[in-house]
Chains A and B, each alone.
Chain A
Amino acid sequence: MAAKLDQGPPNYKEMLPPVILENYGKWKYHEIPRPGVLKHVSETGATMHSVRVASPRLVSIDFVRDLCVIADEYCEGFLRFTTRNNVEFLVGDEAKLNPLLAELEAKGYCVGGTGASISNIIHTQGWVHCHTPATDASGVVKAVMDDLYEYFDSMKLPAKLKMGLACCLNMCGSTHCSDIGIVGVHRTPPRIDHDKIRKGTEIPSLVASCPTGAIRPDPKNKSVIVNNDKCMYCGNCYTMSPAMEIYDAKNDGIAILIGGKVSNARSAPSFSRMVIPFLPNNAPRWPETTKAIRDIIELWIANAHKGERLGEWVERIGWERFFSLSGLPFSDMLIDDYIFARETFRTGAAFKY
């Protein structure tokens, strides 16, 4: 039988539990009675509890089936996922809340991720499924979240902390606007397979893909030449052509960016900024990365005002103060030299020693 084309996604209305159908658009306020649990109260007086549970995002169908068993028992057969890939059980009947929590605890689910906590890390494919990664995604996320677990199931941070991980500079996901961004980086130029280029790479597109204009055509060879001095190893040329292999096990690793956010509350949305240009890919636990992130978070906890996102704190004290407090080495690698660099220089004489 032929597939039906253009039918679109399933209708969300069939996916809403009765308590939501009855109170759709009528929610009045919410509270967080304990970490991982949200209580929403409707204008009608009705309440609904959402219980947020961690997910590794990369899950088996058996994981999903297990969730279904729980949702059938406690949530009239409904649940949802969040934009950070956590799972939420939607409880219309308050009497079922504590039994659900007990069951989740008995089965070893991690309840948390609400309020001033560290929620799930938005992340990408890594070595599991992508062809351009400079690091793994799932493994780094697991290592970091194991290390910081105490901040997932509690709400003791100055403000919420959002992390994103991208396994290469394509930066799929939200790394560029996260409180802490973890980015896979290369440090060596691509290796050109001239035969492969001749066999089918569209040379003008390949040349155009390079942000710094490091690639030029080599008509004599029917291939291309890379000016290694201009290359900053972004790997976009490899995305365009399989002939530009760029992974380099000895030199690939991770950069850390901090201070981004997307919400408009108080301050405007902002990009995260690089504070550590390179950390090694020490699989399976990435100890340098987990330590660096913990150190930054603990510094923020010790110094921020209540309610201050990581980036808001750093902007208040000044980046120069952040570097002196953190002891992180500052180098010319952290000074922007790309298109919009000038606006990041200090055009004023006010700064701290």
Chain B
Amino acid sequence: MTEKKTPLLDELEKGKWPSFVTEIKRAAVKSPASAELLQVLERSYAERRGHWKHGGIVGVRGYGGGVIGRYVDEPETYPNIAEFHTVRINQPSGFFYNTKTLRTICDLWEKHGSGLTNMHGSTGDVILLGCKTESIQPIFDDYSEAGFDLGGSGSCLRTTNCCVGPGRCEHACYDTLEACYNITNEFMDELHRPMWPYKSKIKFSGCANDCTGAIARADISVIGTWRDSLRIDQNAIKEYAAEEFPIQSAVVAKCPTHCLTYNKETQELSVVAEDCTRCNHCINLMPKAIQAGKEKGATLLVGGKSTIVQSAFMSSVVVPFMKMEVEDDFEEFKDTVRRIWEWWDENGKTRERIGETIFRLGMGKFLRETEIPPVPQQVFRPRANPYVFWNQEELDQSGTAMDGSEVKNYNK
């Protein structure tokens, strides 16, 4: 292979931030496909446009998703990336790895593909970037043998994802790592065999800091919380005071509900528990002194998605508090999402995310039909317009059943 020049990309090997160009070049040493990728990318930089054709349908036996087909637009010039498909591998919860596992991923990818990866895709998967159609099944067979499975793509449950949780975070209100693992395994069929109107994502965050961005990036967002009072260790507060930490200005004054009071004399902090919205601010600032309550669980929010088609939506509260217990196998959660998906599967139009289906048909209808009770926590404020739907069957219909011409006799 003759060395071709890449002056524009070479610019991006300078500077302090680690360079993806360097990475592609490293892969190109062993992979002709990666070498050609570099050439195509250089052209894209010169021409300011992409060179990938519309994806085709490729995959493995037994599954309906997990592989993204990709073809370069000038296959004659770039035969090694004429096919350059992506394989999504389901990552372990919390992106924790032992080096043996990571080396296996690398070795198999060296054998079959471009040697380029994304660690990780935005949804969470390990992205194996670039292989030929004929390699897809052998890739899956080898990874499967080594204990890996494909992630999701298409109109299915996508790969689930979670924050670092109890593995390393004092804020975690439930076991996000186990929830992610357990629930992913429960819904393998929904993940591997697309059968829904469109994609659906679940993300598990251990607290309101939402380190997976669940509220913005998942149709079903599970955000850890507690139901009783946050716990304050007054001795630890005194230690913060001794270090001259600005308790009043940095913590108390910024509490969104003004439910914290700091007594400068006694150096004690108190909270009006029923006014706290569990935003996590005070805990973030004084982790040694303030802890979540004891009665822990999660809030279930639904409908998050990005721009297309009806604008970006954030998930909104559906179930304010739900137990997320390893002991009962996350039963309440599984039961609830099954009802939600069933409703969406029945009512959603093609390529309509669940947030859009709820928006089109109404939150009231959604709640009624999924048997989730309406509660004030689901809204910032009640409706301002009076355009309310009533169930006609529950009203006295002896008046409306009349022929309109008889109306003058009505109420006589």
Contact = CB atoms under 8 A, between A and B. Distances in A.
A299 B296 CA distance: 40
A3 B138 CA distance: 9
A114 to B, nearest CB: 13
B102 A145 contact: no
B362 interface: no
A31 to B, nearest CB: 8
B312 A271 contact: yes
Interface stretch (B301-309, B335-343, B368-376, B397-405): B301-309
B168 A81 contact: no
Given A15-B92, A62-B115, 16 more contacts: A6-B188, A12-B167, A56-B17, A58-B23, A61-B106, A65-B102, A81-B95, A129-B129, A139-B12, A142-B17, A174-B216, A211-B308, A249-B49, A252-B49, A339-B311, A340-B311
Given A55-B18, A146-B16, A25 B172 contact: yes
Interface in B197-243: 208-217, 223
A124 B122 contact: yes
B323 interface: no
Given A9-B181, A20-B167, A27-B169, A56 B19 contact: yes
Nearest to A90: B168
A80 B97 contact: yes
Interface in A230-248: 234, 236, 238-239, 242, 247-248
Nearest to B68: A129
28 contacts: A2-B141, A5-B192, A12-B167, A25-B175, A28-B287, A54-B18, A56-B19, A56-B23, A59-B20, A60-B23, A65-B102, A78-B98, A80-B96, A110-B18, A126-B50, A127-B51, A129-B86, A131-B52, A146-B17, A171-B308, A171-B312, A177-B215, A208-B351, A242-B54, A262-B215, A263-B280, A338-B311, A340-B311
B119 interface: yes
Given A5-B192, A58-B20, A129-B52, A27 B119 contact: no
Contacts of A173: 122, 217
Interface in B92-126: 92-103, 105-106, 109-110, 115-120, 122
Interface stretch (B145-153, B263-271, B387-395): B145-153
A14 interface: yes
B195 interface: no
A12 B181 contact: yes
B15 interface: yes
Interface residues of A, number: 115
B379 interface: no
Interface of A: 1-12, 14-16, 20, 24-25, 27-30, 40, 48, 50, 54-65, 67-68, 71-72, 77-83, 85, 87, 90, 109-110, 122, 124, 126-133, 136, 138-139, 141-143, 145-146, 149, 152, 166, 169-177, 205, 208-209, 211, 234, 236, 238-239, 242, 247-250, 252, 260, 262-267, 269, 271, 281, 283-285, 306-307, 338-340
Contact of B280 (A50, A60, A142, A264): A264
Nearest to A29: B287
Q: For the complex of A and B, list the 5 residue pairs with the smallest distance between their C-beta atoms, beginning with the closest.
A: A146-B15, A242-B54, A3-B144, A12-B93, A25-B166
A266 B281 contact: yes
A269 B306 contact: no
B260 interface: no
Given A3-B145, A60-B24, A8 B185 contact: yes
Contact of B256 (A10, A59, A267, A306): A267
Nearest to B129: A129
A191 to B, nearest CB: 13
A74 to B, nearest CB: 11
Contacts of A9: 90-93, 148-149, 181, 184
B208 A10 contact: no
Given A7-B149, A12-B181, A283-B8, A29 B120 contact: no
A11 B216 contact: no
B47 interface: yes
B119 A208 contact: no
A205 B47 CA distance: 31
Given A62-B27, A267-B256, A16 B122 contact: no
Contacts of A265: 208-209, 279-281, 284
Nearest to B93: A12
A15 B101 contact: yes
Contact of A131 (B50, B148, B309): B50
A30 B109 CA distance: 37
B109 to A, nearest CB: 6
Contacts of B120: 57, 81, 85
Contacts of A63: 23, 26
Nearest to A172: B122
A97 to B, nearest CB: 16
A16 B118 CA distance: 22
B48 interface: yes
A67 B23 CA distance: 14
B24 to A, nearest CB: 7
Given A129-B52, A129-B129, A271 B309 contact: no
A211 B310 contact: yes
Nearest to A23: B168
A65 to B, nearest CB: 6
A85 B20 CA distance: 13
Contact of B115 (A61, A109, A285): A61
B37 interface: yes
B273 interface: no
Contacts of A109: 18
Contact of B307 (A78, A87, A141, A169): A169
Contacts of B17: 54, 56, 110, 141-142, 145-146, 149, 152
A264 B208 contact: yes
Contacts of B86: 129
Interface string B240-282: 0000000000100011100000000000000000000111110
Contacts of B192: 5-6
Contact of A269 (B84, B130, B254, B314): B314
Contacts of B84: 129
Contacts of A129: 52, 70, 84, 86, 129-130
Nearest to B143: A3
Contacts of B180: 12
